[in-house]
Every structure is written in C-alpha cells, then in structure tokens.
Amino acid sequence: MVTMPALKKAKSNPRSILTIEGACTRPRAFTYHDLASAHSDYQVDDLAKVDERLAGKAVRLRTLIDQAGPTMHAAWLTVESEDGKFSASLPLDDARRTAVIVYDLAGKPLERGDGGPVRFIIPFFDDKCANVKGSTRLTISEEQGRDTRPSNKTEHDAIHADD
C-alpha cells in the first residue's frame, strides 16, 4: 500500500482571498495587497491585452506557485470555488505556464458578482470550464484532484444556460 504524504494547509488569515496548499513546502494565504504588490514582471495590468473578452488586473499564477514551493512529485492543481460547488483539476505545468489570477477590476478588489474574490483564468485553454469564478483555494497534489467540470456537451450547455 502506498502512503500519500500529508497535505500542508496554509495558515489562516482573515484578510486572505486565496490560499495555495497541499503538496508544497510553503503553503500560503494571499491577501489583495499581496497580489497587488507582486513584482511588476508578474502583473498583467490589462487583461484585454491577453484576451479582448477579459477585463481587470491579474497576477501570473507561476509566481504564486513558486512562493508555495511545490514538492518534487507535484503534478496537479485543483482550483476550487468559494462555495465548494465547482472545481477543476489541471496538470500543474499547464496551469503554471499561462494561468493568471484576476484580483482587481477598475482599481478595486474583484467583487463576488464579477467572479471574485479572485478568478482563475487560463487563457487559450481548450476547456473554458477550467476558468473558475470565485476561486479561493488552490490545492497542489501528486494525483488528480476533485474535478466537477461537465463531462459532455449537455452538462456543459446546462451550466452556461444563464450566460
């Protein structure tokens, strides 16, 4: 029987809007200020320059993942919505390469009505359901995590019926 290592949890912070935990050496809880003060090389000041359908400011996921320090065998990233009803589990390398965390719209923290407190976006990924609104927790793991994305066109259409 293979024993899985214990998943590390981020220390609680009442102001945090995003946590990264799991198979990492330095689990982190990020506040709006943490995201906004990330080095300018990792900021995306205008998401419309990445995809004309998007708006707001974002930080590149790779800098946040690097701060959490994934373990050697970490291979998956599970992005979970604040209410826990939706999650997407993606290969860590794919997410790390291009994903961004949207945290600001029009100079203010991203509101829940706009997909906040943060929104996980992976531009140009073939499955748009990998973009998770209201993301608050990212879990790094060695194996694929919980994934509630639709598995067929009918389920997908039902989710986006109100869009």
Residue 147 pLDDT greater than 90, yes or no: yes
Beta bridge partners of 20: 28, 138
Answer whether residue 2 shows pLDDT above 50. Answer: no
| Domain range 16-148, its CATH number among 3.40.720.10, 3.40.50.150, 3.40.120.10, 3.90.420.10 | 3.90.420.10
CB atoms closer than 10 angstroms to residue 38: 18
Residue for token pair 């209410």: 83
Which tens digits make up the pLDDT trace of 15-64? 889 999 999 999 999 999 999 999 999 999 999 998 888 899 999 999 99
What pLDDT is stored for residue 151 in this prediction? 81
Residue 11 has pLDDT above 80, yes or no: no
Rounded to an integer, the average pLDDT of 104-128 is 92
* C-alpha span between 116 and 96 (Å, rounded): 20
Q: What pLDDT score does 141 carry?
A: 97
CA dist 30 and 20 (Å) reads 8
> Whole-angstrom Cα distance, residue 106 to residue 56?
6
CB atoms within 10 A of CB 126: 6
Average pLDDT over residues 70-82: 96
CA distance 121 to 116: 12
Mean pLDDT, to the nearest integer, of 95-103? 96
